[in-house]
Structure 1
């Protein structure tokens, strides 16, 4: 069952995020097969809001922890906090993954 990983940047780290961004994007490309969804959190004006969200196809919390620990953003000390939660895929891109209703 997939995991949702939400990250929260430390205050005042936009410069650090920009410096490490290319390494982070390369990490995501290397792990694309695990990514069900991934992206930066934005404010209502579309500006960076200091964190991101990953939905990863991993089976255990230990795998999710290892995944985020290997992210260059994490290695650079960007994150103030990381929340890891199991996630059940119900809909993805408008496709239902729910079992059929029982009569």
Structure 2
């Protein structure tokens, strides 16, 4: 099943985001142990289209609990970068 993770950064979190970026990227490079496949992911950006303000993932996993474990293990989450996280099921219609 597909899921969307929509995570918004805390105000002023850009410095922490950049400091933990390499660990976050390494974590995402192999998610097989967590039984999650990343379909697509990337940063959310502010209106000027360059300042990162959050993260968006489309992942495939067996169930919501698996996705929650994956998200909890992300270095960005452990560093307290995200202020709000929403995880919802997703039905692909196009693309």
- Displacement, 1:49? 4.0
Contact preservation (8 Å) 1:40, 1:48: no
Unaligned runs of 5+ in 1: 93-103
**1:14 and 2:43 correspond:** no
The structure 1 residue matched to 2:54, chosen from 23, 26, 51, is: 51
Deviation at 1:30, TM superposition (A): 1.3
* Paired position in structure 1 for 2:43: 40
**Residue 75 in structure 1 maps to residue 85 in structure 2:** no
Matched, 1:63 2:66: yes
Query: Quick check: which has more Rg, 1 or 2?
Result: 1
| RMSD of Structure 2 on Structure 1 (CA) | 1.5
Instruction: Give the TM-score, by structure 1 length.
Output: 0.82
Partners of 1:21 and 1:49 lie apart in 2 by: 11
Q: Which has the higher contact order (CA 8 A, sep 6+)?
A: 2
TM-aligned CA deviation for residue 50 of structure 1: 1.0
Following TM superposition, by how much is the alpha carbon of 1:59 offset from its aligned partner in structure 2, in angstroms?
1.9
Does the Cα contact within 8 Å between 1:2 and 1:86 map onto a contact in 2?
yes
